[in-house]
Amino acid sequence: MSESIGVEKVELKHDQPDRDNQNQEALLVVNGLKKTYRSSGFRKQVDPVLQGVTFSLMPGETVGLVGASGAGKSTIGRIIAGLENADGGQVFLEGKDLLSMKAKERRLSAKSIQMVFQDPYESLSSLMTIEQLVAEPLVIQKLESDRFKRKKLVQKALNDVALAPEKYMNRYPHQLSGGERQRVGLARAFICQPRLIIADEPTSMLDTSLRLDLLQLMREMGRRYGVSYLFVTHDIALTRSFCDRLIVLDRGKIVESGCTSDVIDHPAHPFTKSLIEALLELEHY
Ligand SMILES: Nc1ncnc2c1ncn2[C@@H]1O[C@H](COP(=O)(O)OP(=O)(O)O)[C@@H](O)[C@H]1O
Ligand SMILES: [Mg+2]
């Protein structure tokens, strides 16, 4: 693993993976990630959004990235997925330094990291059928050129997310419910056989009962196909049953991390305490 020079340095003391995993190589290592947006007005204001973010994720692990709105969670997800550039730091996937790769090599690695977005309606083109939408990543990533084989893979992916292919393949996104659309988003992510899925607030457009259904489906599929999740959410309550570990982000810095139940039941940082108190207050209404 020649590219992993920086990896040893980035193990956080409070961020140790469980003992079973200690001899395994991390799936994802994010090391000192920095990002600043420069606003374009008369006064060129500089807003540091990520101020040296470091964490790792083991194969098969589900890690929750929690924090208030505007903390920088989506920026982290977009940088890992290659949708945005960083100003500093490194991202290693299975020891390979993604941010220093040439464009062609980066495209080859891109299939290993898929994203599920908050709003499936916005992220799915309204002019494409469900069959075309689920097949699209195979076409973009040049993973399957045979139309017949692509159709078979789409049918399998739809079956996996409990959408009967014969019923859904020819429909358009507006002919689906929010929960069904989000399942299409999941099928699109899984069809590339990724190692990591970054799910950015995937349930926030859904009703409470559908939220838990989607998380349950994500968990089952993650286990079946050995996929890890970085689950981005402002709602710490959703992480209790879904995440092995939590990372708490406050204004571009990680302020706490650890096993989910430890963080929720015994939060150490004032910011984490305030997230949990806000949640308890909401539950009273
Ligand atoms: N493209 C952009 N240009 C300028 N500022 C941005 C851009 N994207 C995000 N930001 C700012 O960066 C901060 C973090 O955003 P984001 O990563 O979306 O936070 P979160 O997902 O935690 O709500 C916010 O203050 C947001 O306004
Ligand atoms: Mg966000």
Spatial CA neighbour of 230 closest among 243, 240, 219: 243
**Domain annotation covers residue 31:** no
Structural domain boundaries, residue 145: 57-82+107-284
Of 33, 37, 79, best ligand 1 pocket probe by most atoms within 8 Å of the beta carbon:
37
**44 in a structural domain:** no
Question: pLDDT at position 247, please?
Answer: 97
Measured by CA distance, the residue closest to atom 16 of ligand 1 is 72
Tell me the two tokens of residue 125.
């083109």
Residue 193 sits in a domain whose CATH number is: 3.40.50.300
Question: In the prediction, which pLDDT does 164 show?
Answer: 98
The answer to whether 34 touches 50, Cβ cutoff 8 Å, is: yes
Q: How many domains does the chain have?
A: 1
Residue 87 lies in a domain: no
Strands (E), 196-273: 196-200, 228-233, 245-250, 253-259
Instruction: Enumerate residues 6+ apart whose C-beta is below 8 A from 253.
Output: 51, 52, 53
Q: Which two tokens stand for residue 37?
A: 């947006």
Q: Is residue 115 part of a domain?
A: yes
Ligand closest to 49 (CA) is: 1
Residue of 35, 38, 74, 248 to test ligand 1 pocket, by largest number of atoms within 8 Å of CB: 74
Residues 6+ apart with CB under 8 A from 4: 25, 29, 92, 95
Nearest to 258 by CA among 6, 13, 9, 73: 13
Predicted local distance difference test score (pLDDT) of residue 208: 84
Cβ atoms of 234 and 222 within 8 Å: the answer is no
Task: Return all residues near 5 (Cβ < 8 A) that are at least 6 apart.
Answer: none
Note whether residue 228 is domain-resident.
yes
Q: Ligand 1 within 6 A of 137 CB? A: no
pLDDT tens digits, 161-179:
999 999 999 999 999 999 9
Return the amino acid letter for 188: R
**Is there an atom of ligand 1 within 6 Å of 49 CB?**
yes
Question: Considering the domain boundaries, does residue 226 fall inside one?
Answer: yes
Tell me which residue of 97, 100, 69 sits closest to 6, measured CA to CA.
97
Residue 45 and residue 40: Cα distance in Å, rounded?
A: 8
**Closest listed ligand to the CA of 65:** 1
Residue 278 falls inside a structural domain: yes
The pTM (predicted TM-score) of the whole model is 0.89
Per-residue pLDDT reduced to its tens digit, 120-131:
777 788 999 999
CA distance 68 to 71: 6
The verdict on residue 41 lying in a domain is no
Q: Which ligand 1 atom sits closest to the C-alpha of 232?
A: 21
What is the pLDDT at residue 96?
A: 93
Q: pLDDT tens, position by position, for the chain (285 residues)? A: 333 333 333 333 334 444 444 567 999 999 999 999 877 666 666 778 999 999 999 999 999 999 999 999 999 999 999 999 999 999 999 999 999 998 888 888 888 999 999 887 777 889 999 999 999 999 988 888 899 999 999 999 999 999 999 999 999 999 999 999 999 999 999 999 999 999 999 998 888 889 999 999 999 999 999 999 999 998 888 999 899 999 999 999 999 999 999 999 999 999 899 888 887 776 655
**Separation in Å, CA 37 to CA 23, 53, 100:** 38, 16, 20
pLDDT for position 106: 84
